[in-house]
Structure 1
Amino acid sequence: MRALPTDRGTCPFDPPAGMGDEPISKVRLANGDHVWLVTRHDLVRQVLADTRFSSEIDGGFLGVPLRAVEPEPGMFIQMDPPRHTRLRRMMTGRFTVQRMNRLRPRVEQIVTDTLDALGRRPRPADLVEHFALPIPSLVICELLGVPYADREEFQHASAKMLSLTTTVEEQEATALEFAGYLSELIARKRAEPGEGLLDDLLDTDLSDDELIGVAVLMLIAGHETTANMLSLGTLLLLQHPDQLALVRQSPEAARTAVDELLRYLSIVDVGMYRRANADLELDGHAIPEGDFVTCSLASANRDPALLEHPDELQVTRPKAPHVAFGFGPHQCIGQNLARMEMEIAYPALFRRLPHLRLAVPLEQVPFKNDMAIYGVHRLEVEW
């Protein structure tokens, strides 16, 4: 049995070599677990939409075996219906396109202010620290009603909790520390309610433990994924100056570029495990009850059945039904916000700094091969 492919070979923007060789196969994880790897686009959507594949599991990283778990309060990413349905419905109305568009002027101002500050910095500058990370961090703080001065709390926690090199004990300690911070924040909000999403949720039937779980998900997922897309997407476009020029010059290309970058890069790949709750069949393969399945979103998004020339970056390409945000009941609830942030940030960056370029060779850029979400640790640039 082959190991789960992890080596990206000669191109850091492509899925790991050999990942999509078979539509479905049994592979071995680094911890020794055997799981079904699903890579074909239609099969990935089928698995993620089928609630007979349970999300109430944990493990898979750091040598910890995959196992069924009782999900922590509020962590609806690890819940099945009806618990998942209750929390998902409560959150969905707070992330509509219309509601996100009301945030657009504030996001535009955040991007402008961030670029102003970046322009005053000595060169070379780290685009992760001074552009890609502060924008989504500021936005999620404003949306949730979290003081931006506290951003180091969730940035530190997410870096630890998403790292593949920290120990289980370190992750548990970080999670406990972060929960303590959020407990204090919620207590302050109960005493003096504000205008953020967390303040809105105080008037629901959520317990404090559920509020903490929801806040953990929103804070970490709400800034970490978008920050990695902003930095990695910028790096990719710098390698394709013709595509970058289109993003800079055409508002329509800037909009379509976001989905093309999401599809092409697929920064969250095989982290979404599922457990068969019954004996199932998938593409002629018998999946016994209790077996674990993982889906390669990156391979699914490069499936030739999805679109022509899937390995080419084409920022003017019509939107394809990619699965970069997942699919089915657990599809990313914050995708409208993430798209809006990127639609504003990418063209603003390239117009403000038309001579933006890497300050180091591509081979010296430190990619996040040690993290559950792909990206770069630093991105030194000149302009």
Structure 2
Amino acid sequence: MSDLVLGGIADGVFLGGYETSASMLALGAYLLAENPEAVRMLRDEPESVDRVVEELLRHLTVVQLAFLRFATRDHELGGQQIKTGDAVGISLLGANRDEKIAVDGDRFDPAREPTRHLAFGHGMHRCVGAELARMELRIALRGLAQRFPDLQVTADRSDLDFRKLSAVYGVEELPVHLYGRDRDVVAAG
């Protein structure tokens, strides 16, 4: 294996195995802090964890753009002419919020019936770690809701630094107060 190939594999493992999960957990915590009903569902209705996690994946889609593909033949798609060799980019976030997929798709709704989404891509390019990521999110977010049901973000949305130029959408830091069940501040950070 060449250094270039090894570097590409290491980058893929780091990006896919760490960065995406860390971003989903931070952004998921942010949405939970803004949605007490989702926290209640995770805490009190163990069977709802799949629904909440799938809605978070659909709504956030932290890998928002699919890898570029190149047309192998001339083709018309959605009224647009695509020529052989043209680069084609797909907005996974746009697809996941399409009204044909989810009514009022720009809104996070933890009670929404799960829909098919492209948060992990599709077909031969589907994320190999999709089920591990789902498992991590189920465990971590349910644990967060149970242990810290009154989690509060301590910064205004306008003060948060959301990534603008990154392969993985996320927030650089998420300052929170973690309140335990007895409302004592357990930690701030």
Q: What interval of TM-score do these two structures reach, taking the shorter chain for normalisation?
A: 0.7 to 0.9
What one-letter code is carried by the residue in structure 2 that aligns with 1:251?
P
Tell me the TM-score normalised to structure 2 length.
Answer: 0.85
The answer (yes or no) to whether the contact 2:23–2:169 under 8 Å persists in 1 is yes
The answer (yes or no) to whether the contact 2:66–2:121 under 8 Å persists in 1 is no
Trace 1:1-383 onto structure 2 (pairs within 5 A): 207=1, 209=3, 210-382=5-177, 383=179
For residues 1-48 of structure 1, what are the alpha-carbon distances to aligned partners after superposition, in whole Å with 9 as ceiling and x for unaligned?
Answer: xxxxxxxxxxxxxxxxxxxxxxxxxxxxxxxxxxxxxxxxxxxxxxxx
What runs of 5+ residues in structure 1 fail to find an aligned partner?
Answer: 1-206
How large is the RMSD of aligned CA atoms in angstroms?
A: 1.8
The answer (yes or no) to whether the contact 1:247–1:315 under 8 Å persists in 2 is no
What one-letter code is carried by the residue in structure 2 that aligns with 1:248?
R
**Higher gyration radius (CA):** 1
Distance 1:294 1:353 in 2: 40
For residues 198-243 of structure 1, what are the alpha-carbon distances to aligned partners after superposition, in whole Å with 9 as ceiling and x for unaligned?
Answer: xxxxxxxxx3655554333123211000100000111012111122
What runs of 5+ residues in structure 2 fail to find an aligned partner?
Answer: 180-189
Shift of 1:371: 2.0
Q: Percent identity?
A: 39
Shift of 1:331: 1.0
Aligned with 1:281: secondary structure? strand
Distance 2:169 2:7 in 1: 26
Instruction: Name the structure where helix makes up a greater proportion of residues.
Output: 1
Distance 1:370 1:287 in 2: 26
Number of equivalences: 177
The answer (yes or no) to whether the contact 1:271–1:372 under 8 Å persists in 2 is no
